[in-house]
């Protein structure tokens, strides 16, 4: 009656655990494959099950809802993104530069699979899945605090990072909802970063290099 992910059954490494991990992966991959072309609507639970060679009930044993499925996929994606960014850190000299760089690269990465991102963001916007949603937000915030400066982030850093994360998400929602064009996401993030970090003036024409 418990989710298989809840650890306490057979120790990890056992055959059961392995086959379960494999199933879970197949389901996630199937969802991603379907999302790739067609976004949220194309991820139909029956198709996910079929594509993953698994019974529909099994999908629901691993993921209690479609939104949760997509959100857990989102956690993985954002985590991978965070890892890539950490592996090749931004080169900017000021915190603002580094933040903008990291957010731009992250957004570009998301936009490389627009339908997948659309599916995930839509799940995020509607979800009644507080815990996973929080996990996603936290990772996004972490991406930002991670490039601010050495040492632990100050309370102000945290506030700035949280604000930027919120702008990031709103922008993504605007983009996948068709309200704004994709480029707008990055523009919004640059603008917000500048405003928050009190860089230069914003007067229609951005000034620096």
Q: Please give the residue ranges that form the binding site for a copy of itself (CB under 8 A).
A: 122, 124-130, 133-134, 137, 154-156, 159-160, 162-163, 165-167, 169-171, 173-174, 177-179, 188, 191-192, 195-196, 198, 201-204
Q: Which residue has the tokens 């999908």?
A: 59
- Cβ atoms 81, 109 nearer than 8 A: yes
In terms of C-beta density within 10 A (0-12 exposed, 13-18 middle, 19 or more buried), how is residue 79 classed? middle
- Cβ atoms 31, 48 nearer than 8 A: yes
Minimum CB distance to DNA smaller for 15 or for 201 = 15
Cα–Cα dist 90/170, whole Å: 23
Residue 140 tokens read as: 């996004």
Q: Can you tell me which of 57, 151, 178, 204 binds DNA, judged by CB under 7 A?
A: 57
- Cβ atoms 96, 141 nearer than 8 A: no
Minimum CB distance to DNA smaller for 13 or for 151 = 13
CB of 43: closest distance to a copy of itself in angstroms?
14
Cα–Cα dist 85/87, whole Å: 5
Work out the end-to-end distance of the chain between its first and last CA atoms, rounded to an integer number of angstroms. 59
CB of 179: closest distance to a copy of itself in angstroms?
5
**For DNA, which stretch binds (CB under 7 A), given 7-15, 76-84, 109-117, 149-157?**
7-15
Q: Is 55 in the site for DNA (CB under 7 A)?
A: yes
Minimum CB distance to DNA smaller for 65 or for 163 = 65
Write out the binding residues for DNA, residues 59-88 only, by CB under 7 A.
Answer: 60-62, 64-67
Q: Is 4 in the site for DNA (CB under 7 A)?
A: yes
């Amino acid at each position: 009656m418990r989710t298989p992910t809840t650890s306490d059954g057979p120790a990890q490494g056992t055959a059961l655990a392995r086959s379960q991990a494999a199933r879970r992966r197949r389901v996630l991959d199937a969802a991603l494959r379907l999302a790739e072309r067609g976004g949220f609507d194309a991820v139909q639970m029956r198709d996910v099950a079929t594509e993953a060679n698994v019974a529909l009930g099994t999908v629901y044993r691993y993921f209690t809802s479609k939104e949760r499925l997509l959100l857990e996929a989102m956690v993985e994606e954002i985590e991978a993104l965070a890892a890539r960014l950490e592996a090749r850190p931004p080169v900017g000299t000021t915190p603002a530069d580094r933040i903008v760089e990291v957010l731009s690269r992250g957004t570009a990465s998301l936009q490389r699979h627009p339908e997948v991102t659309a599916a995930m963001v839509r799940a995020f916007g509607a979800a009644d899945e507080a815990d996973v949603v929080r996990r996603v937000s936290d990772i996004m915030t972490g991406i930002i605090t991670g490039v601010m400066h050495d040492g632990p982030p100050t309370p102000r850093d945290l506030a700035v990072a949280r604000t930027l994360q919120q702008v990031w998400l709103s922008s993504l929602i605007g983009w996948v909802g068709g309200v704004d064009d994709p480029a707008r996401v990055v523009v919004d993030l640059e603008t917000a970063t500048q405003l928050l970090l009190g860089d230069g003036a914003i007067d229609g024409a951005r000034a620096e290099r």
